[in-house]
Structures are given as structure tokens and as C-alpha cells.
Amino acid sequence: MIILSPEAKNRLEEMQKNSPGKFPRIHFQEKGIGMPDLKLTWTEKEEVDLPVETDGIPFFVAEDVSYFTSNLVISLDPQKKDFLIIPRGDDVCDGNCAACSGCPEP
């Protein structure tokens, strides 16, 4: 489930009106070791993206991020004026890949 703060929802609706043909896309900011850093960009759908809709707003989620979308909160960073994506709950990776038996299938 993706939960939107009221501010994030308003900003996404505004961007949706001003950018026909583009959609919010959730993906990893960088690949590598450590905690996943999720990013929201406004772009076109990529071939392996998965569609998700929240509060009437269509999103595309990168295939490798789909496991984390079961419990996300999207809000706005008041200082940077950028979107914050915060995974929450039991299904969040702790970044300890050495002790991990692998990510579960979505």
C-alpha cells in the first residue's frame, strides 16, 4: 500500500495536469550496498515497470522496487521541496545482506 500525505497528493495532482504523458515513477536512486534509497521521478513508463494507483494517481514502480511498495509513505520534504519515500513496517530490508537469505518474491 502506498500512503500519500495531503501535500504530496496535491503536488502530484498539479504535476499530473502540467505533464501529460508522464507519470510518477518509484525506483531505487542508486544501486549498491546499503539501505535502499527510493526516489520518485516524473517520467515515462519503462518496459518492466509495474502500474499502481493510489488516491486516483497512477504510479509506475520499477520492477526491483515492487517488494517495497507494499508499505510506503510518500510526503514532501519541506526544506528541499522534493518527495520523500519512507518504507515502513515489517517488510523493510534492514540492509544486512550478509545475514540475508534473499528478498522474498513480491
- What are φ and ψ of residue 61, in 5° steps? -120, 130
Contact 84, 75 (CB under 8 A): yes
Q: Span 2-99: which CATH code?
A: 2.60.300.12
Number of neighbouring beta carbons within 10 Å of residue 34: 9
Q: What is the pLDDT of residue 8?
A: 92
Region of 34 (left: φ > 0; alpha: ψ -120 to 50; beta: rest) is: left
Low pLDDT (below 50) residues in the chain? 91-92, 99, 101-106
> CA-to-CA distance for 44 and 21, rounded, in angstroms?
7
What's the pTM? 0.70
Q: What is the pLDDT of residue 94?
A: 52
Q: What is the pLDDT of residue 9?
A: 93
Give start and end residues of each alpha helix (H) in 22-96.
none
